[in-house]
Amino acid sequence: MKNRAFEKAFSDLKLSGDVRERILDAALESDDKVKVRRSARPLRLAAVAAAVTAAVCLMAGTALAVAYVSGRFDTVEVIGGGEYANGYRLSGGENQLLPLDVLSDGVMAMSEERPEGEAVREFQGENWKAAQEFSGVVLPENSAIDALPVGGSALKVDSRGEGPARLTFIQWTDGLEMSFGEYSSQSMGAGTTVTAELYTELAEKVPTQDRYYAFYDCTVEEYTSVNGVNAVITRLTPNEPEREEKLLADINMGSCLFHIESSVTSSSEEALKELYRLVDGFAG
Amino acid sequence: MTHGEFARAVEAYADMVFRVAFSSLGRWEDAEDVTQEVFLKLWRSDRSFTSQEHTRFWLIRVTVNECHRAVRWYRRNVLVEDVPERPDAPESRELLDTVMDLPEKLRVAAYLFYYEGYSTHEIARLVSVPEATVRSRLARAREKLREILKEEDR
């Protein structure tokens, strides 16, 4: 809701070009210094890549079969600890890059036909099964996630560089409002959002996952599902009364990084049980 | 955050951060200083955001905090009357002057509500006060601004 009078008055207020330059220069000059993290706190969780638990899903209908093998992240650490945001970092593990041959002509066309300056294109289907059919990629089987009510879904194709380097499948339950930015998505309100991220051979490697959450304190623990799938469970405790607690699960499926985010609207224990149920849904 | 991503964030949000700072502090140079500080925090934070709205929300939140810090510093160290206003402030001064004459808390709430389009619930989260307080501040700001807004909307 913009008020015209306000718009007129405040739109004239602009930062001068000189100050913009100073801001950018300051960032460049301080580049070396700022790479030192202020309060990284390594956890004892999983310092070593675990033995791989198995399982391969050979997918019918794909141009090339994609093997998903559940594993662990090499390192998990809580990061931030600053005044404004906390979060966690996941890195390493048995990550594979997706061969481009797997991707459908539709994905390649989206990547090639993107308007200038628009690195991320989006496909929206009824659910992420439709997105999988469109893309040529079949995600790891999870009966519990498949059974969730679908509020909406999207597939983002990130083609920063020479072609599709990252595919992000997103599906959320009813009752969520979603806004899509250039890089990712945001959920608001109660519900569960599941994200599956895959990197292709055009990405040099699967990058370290830094997840920051402004206004939350963060603790992490490990969980191993009934099928031997390992998950990093993160509890986000709000430092403002207006925000709801969140529970997250990150699962490394080799070629595919799963991220499940649930808002806690009633009991934390019930929400945690529900999150475990979703992780247990992976075939392993 | 790569330098390219940082540059895009500066391009997209620098004016917004500056306006939030200006609506809080009412002084051009101080708003510029706070803007630089906020973006330096963004760069140093090495963070990732889940969306553009997340980035925007975080930047406003940090700006509000930095403005509070600046106000506290001013109260201890400087007489506000000693700080000159920038002479080439915007052309549409009438409403802006009226807004800037409001008490700080009222003008920040009014700015976030009328210009940035945030709801009272969101503003409450941004400035860390109960939503009822935001509504009350907006009502008081609205009362003071009513006449001039009516004229502008005609």
Closest in B17, B23, B128 to A240, CB measured? B128
Lowest mean pLDDT among A19-23, A136-140, A232-236: A19-23
Select the more confidently predicted residue: A265 or A53: A265
What is residue A177's predicted lDDT score, i.e. its pLDDT?
Answer: 40
A267 burial (CB, 10 Å; 0-12 / 13-18 / 19+) is: exposed
Lowest mean pLDDT among A55-64, A65-74, A245-254: A55-64
Work out the minimum CA distance from A13 to partner chain B, whole angstroms.
6
Chain A stretch 25-54, residues whose beta carbon is closer than 8 A to a beta carbon of chain B: 26-28, 30-31, 34-35, 37
A73 burial (CB, 10 Å; 0-12 / 13-18 / 19+) is: buried
Q: What is the dihedral of CA A66, A166, B40, B18, to 10 degrees?
A: -140
Select the more confidently predicted residue: B46 or A22: A22
Give the whole-angstrom CA distance, residue A175 versus residue A94. Answer: 35
A208 touches chain B (CB under 8 A): no
What percent of chain B has pLDDT above 90?
A: 6
Domains of chain B: 1-88 (1.10.1740.10), 90-154 (1.10.10.10)
DSSP 8-class letter at B1: -
Give the CA diameter of chain B.
Answer: 47
Is residue A32 over pLDDT 50?
Answer: no
Give the whole-angstrom CA distance, residue A47 versus residue A32. Answer: 27
A16 touches chain B (CB under 8 A): yes
For residue A9, the chain B residues in CB contact (below 8 A) are 90, 92, 94-96, 99
Structure tokens at B82: 């000693």
CB pairs A-B closer than 8 Å = 152
Select the more confidently predicted residue: A281 or B27: A281
Structure tokens at A53: 């638990």
Select the more confidently predicted residue: A31 or A275: A275
Lowest mean pLDDT among A159-173, A201-215, A224-238, B97-111: A201-215
Structure tokens at B80: 């506000």
Structure tokens at A38: 């202020």
Is residue A57 over pLDDT 70?
Answer: no
- What Rg value do the Cα atoms of chain B yield, rounded? 16
What is residue A59's predicted lDDT score, i.e. its pLDDT?
Answer: 35
b/e string for A211-244 if b means 16 or more Cβ within 10 A?
bbbbbbebebebbebeeebbbbbbbbebeeeebe
Average pLDDT, chain A: 73
Please state the φ and ψ torsions of residue A87, each to the nearest 5 degrees: -175, -160
What is residue B8's predicted lDDT score, i.e. its pLDDT?
Answer: 83
What is residue A20's predicted lDDT score, i.e. its pLDDT?
Answer: 83
What is residue A135's predicted lDDT score, i.e. its pLDDT?
Answer: 93
Chain A stretch 153-182, residues whose beta carbon is closer than 8 A to a beta carbon of chain B: 179-182
Report the pLDDT averaged over residues B146-150: 67
Lowest mean pLDDT among A38-42, A201-205, A225-229: A38-42
In three-state secondary structure terms, B12 is helix
What is residue A15's predicted lDDT score, i.e. its pLDDT?
Answer: 82
Work out the minimum CA distance from B121 to partner chain A, whole angstroms.
9
Give the whole-angstrom CA distance, residue A41 versus residue A240. Answer: 23
Please state the φ and ψ torsions of residue A106, each to the nearest 5 degrees: -60, -45
Query: What ipTM is given for this predicted complex?
Result: 0.70
What is residue A45's predicted lDDT score, i.e. its pLDDT?
Answer: 23
